Structure formats: structure tokens, C-alpha cells
Chains A and B, each alone.
Chain A
Amino acid sequence: QKEVEQDPGPLSVPEGAIVSLNCTYSNSAFQYFMWYRQYSRKGPELLMYTYSSGNKEDGRFTAQVDKSSKYISLFIRDSQPSDSATYLCAMSRSQGGSEKLVFGKGTKLTVNP
């Protein structure tokens, strides 16, 4: 079993839809949970990160972490065609550097106008 599992999709939704992206993990030592967005032929860019369990909101994006279930989610409200990208979840055990990020395989999202 991989440490981080993510459904690769692809996921196709109409503009304005609410998108739900999810990852599960097996290592209970993970403390920091991140979502990256990667456009085609570009490097990943950090969208949000959350420490431990709970929710975090930033504009149209909401990240949720449920450590008891080892499950994290990213919700995108009022999705736009510009949100079309691959979304990668990532996790680490600490924030002070010295800790690699463990990534899911990414979910490819297309938002259709």
C-alpha cells in the first residue's frame, strides 16, 4: 500500500460546479497536509496547507483534514475553466524542512465552460 492514495481521475465538471478532491493516507505521523496545483508542463504551485485536523478556507478553496480517518479533501466552489489542472495532495511529518513531501499521484480536473 502506498503511503498516499489519490484517484487520478480524470474529473470533468461544468463551470460553476463544486469540485471535491480527496486523498487517503496510511502514515499516522503526517502532520502537515498540502494541496498543490500543476498546470500542464509547469511545476506544482502550493494552493493551501493545513496543520493537523480541521478546515481551512481561502477564497473559493476549502481544505479539510480528518486525521482520525486519515482522509483529506479539497473543495473548489464556483469552479472556473482556469481551475483546469492536475491537483496533487502532499504530506509531511514536520514543517522545519528536513522532511520530504510525500505526494499523491494527482487528479486531473477539467472545468468545461
Chain B
Amino acid sequence: GAGVSQSPSNKVTEKGKDVELRCDPISGHTALYWYRQSLGQGLEFLIYFQGNSAPDKSGLPSDRFSAERTGGSVSTLTIQRTQQEDSAVYLCASSLPGTSGGVTQYFGPGTRLLVL
């Protein structure tokens, strides 16, 4: 079956521009996570969506970062006024909640963002 998909796979932008990154989770997965993977920092949690509950935004590094999830499915991560330190791989994951499902997060291939 189809896994988690992300687009674009690569994005090069200029400092100060806004970017939007898209994630399509596995069908039926109600939980969706965004992580950032940068050199020397490993994978860092950004934001979590679960059903209709308020998202957990505790990992967003600044107010330039925001995310939404429409219709409980597709999610968009937006970075405004990009900075060079935003360059990283942005990974999306989805999972089923409940017993044994919550820890099994399925990751997409990521979007590689380069801010010049």
C-alpha cells in the first residue's frame, strides 16, 4: 500500500522567502508528526496532530514556523521569512493511535530544504 508521501522532495529558496512543505499521511492514520533532521542535531520534533484535538506545537523553533492539517489528512508546514539555519530535511510521519500503534510511526522520504 501507499506510504507517507512528501512534496517537494527538494526545495531551494532564498533567505527571506516563505516555503510550504506538504505531507500526505497513510490513509486511516489519524496521528501526524513533523520532524526536522539537520546535520549535527539529529531528528527534532516540531509538531503533532491527532484527530480533531489541538495540535502539540511545543517543538516549533520560532513563530516563523506553522503547520495545519486539513480534513484530518494532508498537512502543510509553512516556514515564513526563511533563514539559512532552516536548511534541513523535514520529515513527516503518521501513525495509528492506541495500543501498539502510537509508537509505530511511519516516515515519509522527507523534503530537503536549502536556504541560500
Quick check: is A60 within 8 A (CB to CB) of the other chain? no
Q: How many CB-defined contacts (below 8 Å) exist between A and B? A: 79
Q: Are B42 and A44 in contact (CB under 8 A)?
A: no
Q: Is the interface of B mostly helix, strand, loop or mixed?
A: loop
User: How far, in whole Å, are A92 and B99 apart by their CA atoms in the complex?
Assistant: 14
Is there an interface contact between A101 and B105, defined as CB atoms closer than 8 Å? yes
B31 within 8 A of partner (CB): yes
Establish whether residues B56 and A98, one from each chain, have CB atoms under 8 Å apart when the complex forms.
yes
Kindly identify which residue among B91, B100, B106, B108 contacts A95, using a CB–CB cutoff of 8 Å: B100
> Do A105 and B108 touch (CB < 8 A)?
no
Number of interface residues of B (CB under 8 A): 34
Residues of A with C-beta under 8 A to B35: 101, 103
Q: Quick one: which of A49, A102, A104 contacts B103, CB cutoff 8 A?
A: A49
Do A100 and B56 have beta carbons less than 8 Å apart? yes
The A contact surface, by secondary structure, is loop
Q: Does residue B41 face the partner (Cβ distance < 8 Å to A)? A: yes
Question: Are B107 and A97 closer than 8 Å at their CB atoms?
Answer: no
A99 to B109, Cβ gap below 8 A? no
Q: How far is the CA of A43 from the CA of B105 in the complex (A)?
A: 11
* Most chain B beta-carbon contacts within 10 A, residue among A32, A94, A95: A95
Instruction: Say whether, besides A42-B109, A43-B4, A43-B110, A97 and B42 are in contact (CB < 8 Å).
Output: no
| A97–B95 touching, CB < 8 Å | yes
Q: Are A105 and B104 in contact (CB under 8 A)?
A: no
Contact of A43 among B98, B103, B108 (CB under 8 A): B108
Assess the B4–A92 pair: CB atoms within 8 A: no
Number of interface residues of A (CB under 8 A): 27
Among candidates B30, B45, B99, B110, residue contacting A100 with C-beta atoms closer than 8 Å: B45
CA distance A36 to B56 in the complex (A): 23
Known: A97-B31, A98-B48. A34 touches B103 (CB 8 A): yes
**What would 6 more interface pairs be, CB under 8 Å, given A32-B103, A100-B48?**
A43-B91, A43-B109, A90-B43, A97-B95, A97-B102, A98-B102
Which B positions have Cβ atoms within 8 angstroms of A? 4, 30-31, 33, 35, 40-45, 48, 50, 53, 56, 58-59, 91, 93, 95, 97-110
Question: Which residues does A use to contact B, with CB under 8 Å?
Answer: 6, 32, 34, 36, 41-46, 49, 88, 90, 92, 94-106
